[in-house]
Chains A and B, each alone.
Chain A
């Protein structure tokens, strides 16, 4: 089973609709991230969370909100979707050093392809 899962994998919606993308992880990591990927622009950070009570804006947070429901779950919401939010969205996780393993190396989910018409 995948360590980082995202649902849905694909979504088509209309302008103005509220959308929630969900991410779950079984890696036991305390840190979680949301990125969007656009052709030619690489990965850009939307929000990140260092633990359940610590949520921070990334470089492109406008139009998005997040919720860290538990250590293993981090959801991304688009309150009122617009066409330029059409993109591939990735969740990632990392460990701050509490576990044995690479410090803060990010591991990605499979992505959600979102299309806003």
Chain B
């Protein structure tokens, strides 16, 4: 089956720094999604990408759908303490079952 490698698995950064995390897949996806999960809550959708090469921003967050359709990255600029949480990538094939494959998450901690 499809597998997603998400890295890094955890990171500590200083408030104000930029952050980058990425996901790579063994096969292609039609859609890449990035979610954030706060402690004790469900994943919340941050950005959805639907086309290879697409670059989309949501405030200080920017994500890109890789040209090969096998990877995606998420950047967070000028991190703040409320950016703390677990960030998940997810790849999806559209058509038929539309199964979503999730990465295991990147745990981000921001040092004030």
Contacts and interface: CB of A to CB of B under 8 A. Distances in A.
A110 B44 CA distance: 9
Contact of A104 (B40, B44, B94, B103): B94
29 contacts: A4-B42, A40-B104, A41-B104, A42-B88, A42-B103, A42-B104, A43-B102, A45-B99, A45-B100, A56-B97, A90-B42, A92-B42, A102-B48, A102-B50, A103-B94, A104-B31, A104-B94, A105-B33, A105-B45, A106-B33, A108-B35, A108-B42, A108-B44, A109-B42, A110-B40, A110-B42, A111-B40, A111-B42, A113-B40
Interface residues of A, number: 21
Nearest to B6: A42
A103 B100 CA distance: 13
B104 A90 contact: no
Given A102-B50, A105-B45, A110-B42, 20 more contacts: A4-B42, A40-B104, A41-B104, A42-B88, A42-B103, A43-B102, A45-B99, A45-B100, A90-B42, A92-B42, A94-B98, A102-B48, A105-B33, A105-B48, A106-B33, A106-B90, A106-B100, A108-B35, A108-B43, A109-B42
A64 interface: no
Q: Which 9 A-B pairs have the closest CB atoms?
A: A108-B42, A42-B104, A43-B102, A42-B102, A108-B43, A104-B98, A110-B42, A111-B42, A109-B42
Contact of B45 (A90, A107, A109): A107
B6 to A, nearest CB: 8
Nearest to A33: B100
